[in-house]
Structures are given as C-alpha cells and as structure tokens.
Chain A
Amino acid sequence: MTTPLTAASAAPVVLDINDLVISIGRRADAHRIIDGVSLQVRHGETLCVVGESGSGKSVTSLTTMGLLPKKVLAPTRGTITLAGEDLLNAGDRRLRQLRATTMAMIFQEPMTALNPVVPVGRQIDEVLRTHTSLDARARRERILAMMEQVRLPDVARIFKSYPHQLSGGQRQRIMIAMALVLEPKLLIADEPTTALDVTTQKQILSLIRDLQRDHGTAVLFITHDMGVVAEIADRVVVMRKGKVVETGALDAILRAPTMDYTRNLLASVPSLIPRTARPASSEPVVLETNSLGKIYRTRSMFGEAREVAAAKDVTLTLRKGRTLGIVGESGSGKSTVARCIVRLIDPTSGEVRLAGQDISTLSRPALRPHRKRIQIVFQDPYRSLNPRVTVGETIAEGPVNYGVPHATAIKRAGELLELVDLPADAISRYPHQFSGGQRQRIAIARALALDPDVLVADEAVSALDVSVQAQVLDLLDEIQTRLGIALLFITHDLRVAAQICDEVVVMQHGRVVEQGAAGEILTNPQQAYTRQLLEAAPGRHWDFANFRPVHGFAQDATFSPGN
C-alpha cells in the first residue's frame, strides 16, 4: 500500500511506449509482430503486461532495451520514450549507456541468464566497471551491500561463487542485484519467477516489491500468470497477438474486465478451491505402490560413495476411474516416483503393483506384457514426439509392437484422434504442424492407443498457456469418464491439482509429507509444508473465474505483496 493508485497516477511517466509497430523486415506489407502497442509506466508503479505465448509481450520489452535481433525485427512505427529520451532513434552507444544505469532487465531463466564460467560477484562488478569510475574497493563494497539488499546469505562467499553453485532463487537474486545496483529508473522483469518454485517465487515477488518501494523504480512486469499479476500489479495491460486488448487498474481488470478475451483468460485460471469431490469409489485398485524407493549411488575410484534418496517410502493407491495427484516442488521426487511406476527407471526398493501384480523387479522381457497397462504423457510436447514420424504412425507404433496389424492400428489411431478432438487429416501430418496444445492431445492419443488401465501425466499441462491448459484438463476429465481410466497426475501447480485430482500426495525431499482426499489436503492441510505451499500460491486470495476475491480474504489483500 506504499504506492496507492492515486499517487502513482500523478507520478512522472518513466517509460512511454506509443503506437509501436514491429514487423518482420521493413517492407510496408510485412507481418506485424507488434501492432500499435501503447503503454506507460510511472515512477514507483508496477505495470503487468499479461498475455499468452505469441502475444508479443517479450518483444515489446526487448525492443525497449534495444536487444532485438536488428536485422530480423525492426520497429517501423511509433515511439519509445524513457525518462524523456527517444530510444528508437538513440544510437547503439547511447543505448549501451542507458542499459543498467537507467533501464535494466531480469529474465525468466536464472539457470541460463548468468555466465556459467564467471563468478557471480564479477558479473555484477562488470556493470560497475562499465558504467562508473569507482575503484575496486568501492565497487566491491557496493556489490556486497546490494547483495545484502536482495537478501542473499553469506554474501562474501556468494560473491566468489559460480552460478552452478547457487540455487535458482539465489541466481535470480543475483540477477536482481545486477539489475538494480545502479538504481535504474525502469526495471523490466520478463517472467522472472516462472522457472522458480512457488515458495521461491513468493520471496522473489516480495523482494521486487520491497526494492521498488525503497528505490521508487518503475517496474514493467511481464507474465502469463494471473496469480502473479494479482500479487504484484498496480495496473495491467492485457496483450494478444501483438495488440493491447485491455488496460486498467488491477482491481478493475480482475473485477470487471470489459473485453471477452480478458474474461476468458481469467476464467481459464484454475481455482485453488478443489472441485466438488466425487463420491468415494469402490472400484478395483489398478495401481499401488508399497514403500517405493529410489536411491542414486555414485561411486568413484578414490572418492567416497555418495547416496541420494530421490524417493523414499512412497506408498499410494489408485482406483479405476480416479485421479491421484502427486504435488511438490522441484527436487521433491515426484517425477522420480512417476518414472519408477512406469519402470522407465528401476526402483531400488519397494513394490509397484499393477492390478495386483508386482512389476518392480520384473526383467525387461517379463515386463513387456505389463507395459501396455500403464502409459505416460510427458511435460514438453515439443520434444516428446518424434519430428520425422507422422502422427498416425506415432500413435500406431505401440499397438503394432504388440502384434496389432498395421492397418487396424492406423484405423484405431484415427478414432483416437477424434477422441482427443483433432481433425481426421491430422493422421498423415507431422508434429511441427501442430500447436503445443494439439501436440499434447497427440501425446495423449498415443498413450491411449494401448488401452492402458493407468495414464501417468508428468507435468503434462505445465508447458501450456492457461486457456489451452484448461482445454487439455477438460479433455483428460472427459476421457476418464468415457474410458474409466485411472490418472496419476504429477504437477507442481496446486491450482491444476485442485481441479483434477480426487486424492493428493504431497512430496518434499523424496518423501511423502501428507496424503489424502484433495478437498481435505488443499483446504485444511495438516502439515506445515503443505500449508506453506498453499500460502505461496500466487493470487490465492482471488477467485479469478468469478471475478471476485476468495471469500474470507480481506479485500485490500489485492494490493499487498504476499509477505
């Protein structure tokens, strides 16, 4: 509440983008990536630019920084003014001077945004060496002070560390320190928390908020996540296909969006409130694990043997027609469990029972008949389909391997494509001709081709835009109703878990923290870790689909950072 809207609207405009058009090439009829975008960010204000992939939100910010690949994408119309200075007509030299001093940027992937072969302290130091004439000692003091401001522990040690020695959250703090060390007027944050776990995300969001309050920085915050928008925005710009759809104050956008696209976008955000529970099932158990464990051992000739327990003592039960979610942050072991169950990796202890039969120790040939009972859909549909094989052949391959005649398998592939709502002609096309959501449908059809009892979805909707995500979740639900298949759903996203799971298993550090009915766990968690996860979920106080705050949360919570 430090920058109330009224004060912000009187504050000077730091960034003013006016009628910006960016085309591929300079020809008059060239395709427009950005088509007439206008927006302003004021001193001390956070403007969230929200949109799905391909909306042009990142291109807008890279243009502001002058970081676009010049030969390919060129601004053909409009102006960008930073603190009164025209950026589009500024020379390379002037733009370099402005970067880090007046405008700075942080990026999505802290894992790759830092140079892996240079200690992080020196990477921050480079900013000071480039833009100031401070001596080595003054620079070091300033860097250490900045590192403390971004709440890094043991700054002297981290100063000398390489990026790979730091966690994702620590790296993003380094990025923020690097961006803010010269107190720029404008900070552009391009999906800065998307690659982070929710608990880390919460810390980084509140850090950005606090630093903004202390320094009065104008923040242009790019995100696809409405939850994050609800946490951090003062004002919101909704973009779609290179155009601004709607602009307004946060509360106005969330409560009373005027455009259909914005309404749909908000309505697609899965609610954290679990869906109405289905009646308890007495169907047979199709999958159970008993004290399942996976220990990785690394041994070297001279070093000590090291053991890492990626999963330990995991016991779960899944009935026909039900959905069991495994939720947890990165490194919690949820994917390890999924892979052990499908026997993509071999568990080191415990049992995996498929319809009563333990498959955890079966040899590869003995396992073969059981493989068709359990199939998996992976996270990234761009990499999980072979680009050189037609969709039909991809789907038919499994059944053919199990002796189904090719013609029959192809015919069945056609039916499956229909089941997942893809056109019939998709069968002879290649994966690159489809969008991400369509590819994930293909991956689901491929998994279903073997008529499995259990479908394992490993973060299967995490790489998709929310509107597409909602469609794929609906599809999975529909398939489950029609085929009575059991779903094991691995996700880091509690919203998704709340909307699809009957039961939930919460994992941390390879162990099960809590498990039970989704409605119970997600509304009344008994364990501190589960509570912490729920509290860190961005925008948890807002019921997006119904355009109102969640009952029980104070209304003014909208503008407070998740502290």
Chain B
Amino acid sequence: MLGYLIRRILAAIPVMGVVALFVFLLLRLTPGDPAAILAGDNATPEQLDRIRTSLGLNEPLYTQFFTWIGKLLHGDFGVSLISNVPVITMIGNRIEPTVAIALATIIFTVIVAVPLGVIAAWKHGTWIDRLVMALSVIGFSVPVFVIGYVLIQIFAIDLRWLPVQGYRKIASGFGPFLERIILPTLTLSFIYIALIARMTRAAMLDVLDEDYIRTARAKGIAEHGVLLRHALRNAAVPVITVIGTGFALLISGVVVTETVFNLPGIGRLTVDAVLARDYPVIQAMILLTSGIYVGVNLLIDLSYSLLDPRIRY
C-alpha cells in the first residue's frame, strides 16, 4: 500500500511536468501580445519594448519556461502582468468562496443523489424510478445559469429568504456565510445530482442482481439492511469514480455560478485572467486544477482498496 502510494506520487510528477509544458506553450503560441494589452492602444513601440523586457517576454521561449519552472519549484507562481500582485496572493484571496461552494456541492449532492439512486433502483420500473430518472434528465439539460437565475427569482426576490448575490467570508460569521452559499450550492448541485443519482441507480441495479443479494434475503435480513449493508457497499466503487471525475463538471460549473452570484472566487479570477492574457495567473490556475485532478484521482484509487478488499496495491 505504501509502495503503491509512493509510486503513484512519483508518477504524478511527469504528468504535472507535461501539463506545465503544454500550458506554457499553448499560451505563448496563441496570438495576442500581453505587453500590447498592458500598454494600451496608444503605446509607442519603445514603450512596448520596455514592458516586454521588464516582463522577460523578449527572452527565448525555453529560457522563459525554465525560469518559470524554477520559480514554481520555489513556490513562486510569478506576479500578475496586469495588477503586479503575486499570483499566489491573488489565488489566496479568492479561493475561499470557490472551495466553500465546491465542498458544499459535493456533500449536498452525495446526501441527495445516492439515496435517490438507491430508491430508484430498489423501485426499479415503478413511477418512483421514472420520476427520479425524469428529474435527472432535467438536471442534465437545463444550463447552470438558468437554474441560478430561477433560484434567485424564487428564493431571493419573491420569497426574500436569501440574499440575491455576494459573499461573506466564513470568518465574519457562519450565518451570513451560509446564507450566501446556499443558492450557489443548489445551482451547482443540479447537474451533479442528476449524474450521480443516475450512476448510483445503474450500479445498484447491477449489484441487486448478484447472488449475494439473494443470499442476504435468504438470511431473512430486512430490506433496508440488504440495500445498505450488502448492495450499496458493493455499488460504491463505480459511484465514487463518478463523484471524482465529476470534478471536471464542477470546475466548469463554478465559473458560471460565481458569475451569476457575483462571488469573488477563483473561477472568475481565471476568466478575467484569460480575457486579459495574464499568463502567470492562467498558468497557475491550470496547474492548480490539474494538481487537484491528479490528487482526487489518487484519493479515488486509494478509496477502492478501502471499499473492496479484493483490490490491494
């Protein structure tokens, strides 16, 4: 197990290296000059040149790359081309709302979607099953921003239960913080619940056909025991896999959600950086997300061995 862990972590290094190189080249080779954006439309060639030199943009590409990598390894993600603030500080300032709604979404989703999927599978073919599946189709097909605006209209404007937009740090009080992440979380959860409920149902249907479920029933165990102790634990591996890979959905959904609810998160930070060609910020963000993917995948793989004793590394 420990050997496996070390191997997986070692294997992550080249993955991250390739991601870094790819990201670096992709951004440098796309048209558009950050110096020109910084200097504005009326800048003289001399001014542009001065800006390029000060940012290192005149250096050969490989020099820029290795300089950047070297700094990364020392924890230096560079300074924003636009605001001159260190990238790490910018991310630090913006990360709390994003992490808050991402975590809240995952927890809320699992709490709602897994029972829905289990019940749908148990009541396979009945109206309950069809209702859950119909809701799941709706969850998939309605865009995140539409859900967001509908929720705002109902809960913030009509019922006035919750604030329309904005964010309060958790340090300034849990109540105000909670009030402001409820709607973003609900918004973001929709598609995720649809996905995981569907996956849980499919996995449960497979497992409920297994011989050991018949054995469990033959032992005289009550139905909830059969479903939870015997079926769900065996269905967990594919469900956990989807919860993990669903991170991709989550991250793209975060950008829209932050925009709709005017949250100062890193999703919007990334979009702003892309529009302004703020290379250091874009690179740091892509590296951060890739790092999270790699980490989440590792956690998922490790969780398999906890869930299924047949899987040993």
Residues on A lying within 8 angstroms of B by beta carbon are: 65, 67, 71, 95-101, 104-105, 107, 109, 112-118, 126-127, 130-131, 162, 164, 175, 178, 301-303
Contacts and interface: CB of A to CB of B under 8 A. Distances in A.
A97 B307 CA distance: 30
Nearest to B125: A71
A196 to B, nearest CB: 15
A98 B229 CA distance: 21
9 contacts: A96-B222, A100-B219, A107-B211, A114-B215, A115-B212, A116-B234, A126-B221, A130-B225, A162-B309
A302 B313 CA distance: 11
Contacts of B71: none
Interface string B215-254: 1111111100100011001100000000000000000000
Contacts of A303: 3
A116 B215 CA distance: 12
A558 to B, nearest CB: 31
B219 A164 contact: no
Contacts of A131: 220
Contacts of A71: 125
Contact of B310 (A99, A107, A116, A301): A116
A164 B309 contact: yes
B214 interface: yes
A49 B196 CA distance: 45
B11 to A, nearest CB: 10
Contacts of B272: none
**Which of B7, B220, B222, B309 counts the most A-chain CB atoms under 10 A from its CB?**
B220
B33 interface: no
Contacts of B210: 112
B221 A96 contact: yes
**Which of A95, A98, A109, A117 counts the most B-chain CB atoms under 10 A from its CB?**
A117
A95 B145 CA distance: 51
Contacts of A97: 220
Given A107-B211, A130-B221, A115 B216 contact: yes
A127 B211 contact: no
Given A96-B221, A164-B310, A107 B233 contact: no
Given A100-B219, A105-B218, A303-B3, A116 B308 contact: yes
Contacts of A175: 215
Given A115-B230, A117-B233, A117-B234, A107 B216 contact: no
Contacts of B211: 107, 109, 112-113
Nearest to A111: B211
Contacts of A100: 218-220
B282 to A, nearest CB: 35
A117 B307 contact: yes
Closest 4 CB pairs of A and B: A99-B220, A112-B211, A302-B3, A115-B212
A151 to B, nearest CB: 21
Contacts of A126: 216, 219, 221, 225, 229
Contacts of A162: 309-310
A351 to B, nearest CB: 38
Nearest to A99: B220
Contacts of B218: 65, 67, 99-100, 104-105
B212 A127 contact: no
B164 to A, nearest CB: 47
Nearest to B217: A67
B307 A115 contact: no
How big is chain B's contact interface, by range? 20 to 34
Contacts of A105: 218
B212 A130 contact: no
A100 B310 CA distance: 28
A126 B221 CA distance: 8
B309 A115 contact: no
B226 to A, nearest CB: 10
A250 to B, nearest CB: 27
A175 B215 CA distance: 9
B310 A113 contact: no
Interface string B299-310: 000000001111
Given A107-B211, A130-B220, A130-B222, 10 more contacts: A109-B211, A115-B234, A116-B212, A116-B310, A117-B310, A131-B220, A162-B310, A178-B219, A301-B3, A301-B7
Contacts of A115: 212, 215-216, 230, 233-234
Nearest to B218: A105
A67 B212 contact: no
A107 B214 contact: yes
Contact of A113 (B214, B225, B234): B214
Interface in B178-194: none
A314 B220 CA distance: 50
Contacts of B220: 95-101, 127, 130-131
**Which of B3, B219, B234, B308 counts the most A-chain CB atoms under 10 A from its CB?**
B219
B231 to A, nearest CB: 9
A67 B221 contact: no
**Which of B3, B125, B214, B234 counts the most A-chain CB atoms under 10 A from its CB?**
B214
**Which of A99, A113, A131, A178 counts the most B-chain CB atoms under 10 A from its CB?**
A113
Given A164-B310, A301-B7, A303-B3, A113 B215 contact: yes
A131 B218 CA distance: 12
Nearest to A107: B211
A116 B308 CA distance: 8
A350 to B, nearest CB: 33
A143 to B, nearest CB: 13
Contacts of A127: 219-220
B97 to A, nearest CB: 38
A99 B210 CA distance: 19
Contacts of A107: 211, 214-215
Nearest to B6: A302
A115 B218 CA distance: 13
Contacts of B233: 115, 117-118
A374 B203 CA distance: 42
Contacts of A65: 218
Nearest to A102: B220
A371 B82 CA distance: 69
Contacts of A118: 229-230, 233
A70 to B, nearest CB: 12
B153 to A, nearest CB: 43
A98 B220 CA distance: 7
B8 to A, nearest CB: 11
**Which of B7, B210, B218, B234 counts the most A-chain CB atoms under 10 A from its CB?**
B218
A193 B125 CA distance: 35
A178 B214 CA distance: 14
B123 to A, nearest CB: 11
A116 B225 CA distance: 16
A115 B216 CA distance: 8
A162 B310 CA distance: 8
A200 B309 CA distance: 26
B2 to A, nearest CB: 9
Contacts of B217: 67, 99
Nearest to A116: B310
B5 to A, nearest CB: 11
Contacts of B308: 116-117
A46 to B, nearest CB: 19
A135 B233 CA distance: 25
Nearest to A71: B125
Given A67-B218, A97-B220, A100-B218, A114 B309 contact: no
A178 B220 CA distance: 12
Contacts of B7: 301-302
